[in-house]
Amino acid sequence: MTVKLKTSLLSLSLVCLFTTACSAEDTSASEIAKPEAVEQMVEKAVEQVLPEDSVDKRYKALFDTSKEAISLSLQDNPDNFVAGTHYDVFESRKPLLGDGEKIELVEFFSYGCGHCFNAEPYMHAYAGQVADDVVFRRVPVSFNPFFEKLARGYYAAEALGASEDSHIAIFDAIHIKRKQFQSVSDIADFYAQYGVDKEQFIKAFDSFSINAQLERDKKLSQAYQITGVPTVIVNGAYKTGGVKAGNYSTWFQILDSITKLEREKKAAE
C-alpha cells in the first residue's frame, strides 16, 4: 500500500458523519450498532492489509488504523473552533473527578450505545496520545436499566483488576457478537475471561461502593448536562460531542484545541 493511498484511507475513516448520539430520553434497552455499518467504516482501511476475515478482527484492526488517523488529523488542526457552534462552555466550572493537577478529559459513554461503539476506536486512539499534563477518564451512564447493568459491570471489573482488553472486547461482544448479557452471571462470565473472579464480581456488582459510584455519576451527569453519549467534558468547563463536530476528525481537533486553551489558562494562573 502506498503512503498516499494509506493516508487517504485513514482520512476517510475519520470523516464518518456523526449526526446523532444515544439519548437519555431513549428508553429502549440499548442502541446496538449495525454490523454492516461497522463493515462500511473499516472495510477500505483494512481490505489491503487483512485477508477476508471475521468482523471482530476487522474491528480490532480499526483500533490500529485509528492511531495514525488521529495523529494525522491533529497535525492538521485549524484551531479555529467557536464556542456555541462547535462546543459548549459552562457558565461556571463544574466539579472535577480528580485533584485538578492535570487537565481532565471525561468521556461519558455506555457499552450499550451504538454510537459509543463506533467512536471507541478513535476515542481509544486519542486517549493514548494525550500529553503528560492531561488525564483521560471514563464515566459509564445509566440512562436505562441495560446501561445501568453495564455500568455496574464496568466498575466491578475495574475494582477487581480486569485487563484493559476487556474494554474493547465488551463493545465487540454486544455490537458484533450480539450478546444480550441478560443476567449478572452472564456479565461475570464475560469478565472472568479477563482475570476477574466470578464470585467476587457478583458480590461487587450490587455493593455499597458501586451504588455510591453510580449515584455520583448520576449527579455528575446532571451537573454536566449530559443528554446523550458519547460526550467528553474538558476540565469541567467545556462540553463536546460528535453531533456538533459533525465527524470524528473535527471532534478530536476540537478536543485538542480546547485542551490547549485550558493549558494556557493554567500557565497564566
What was the pLDDT predicted at 269? Answer: 82
The residue whose grid cell reads 472535577 is 96
Split into its structural domains, the chain has a count of 1
Omega of the bond leading into 95 within 30 degrees of 0 (cis): no
82-110 average pLDDT score: 96
For residue 112, give the H/E element and its range.
Answer: none
Give dist(CA 230, CA 16) in Å, integer: 15
Is the CA virtual torsion 246, 252, 256, 258 positive or negative? positive
- pLDDT tens by residue, 184-227: 999 999 999 999 999 999 999 999 999 999 999 999 999 999 99
| Domain boundaries, position 12 | 3-268
The CATH number of whichever domain residue 248 belongs to comes to 3.40.30.10
* Per-residue pLDDT, 200: 98
Dist CA 209 CA 216 (whole Å): 10
Q: Which long-range contacts (CB under 8 A, 24 or more apart) does 207-211 make?
A: 207/156, 209/159, 210/152, 210/155, 210/156, 210/159
pTM as predicted: 0.85
Residue 6 pLDDT more than 80?
A: no
C-beta separation of 16 from 10 below 8 A: no
Q: How many residues does the chain have?
A: 269
Encode pLDDT of 106-117 as tens digits. 999 999 999 999
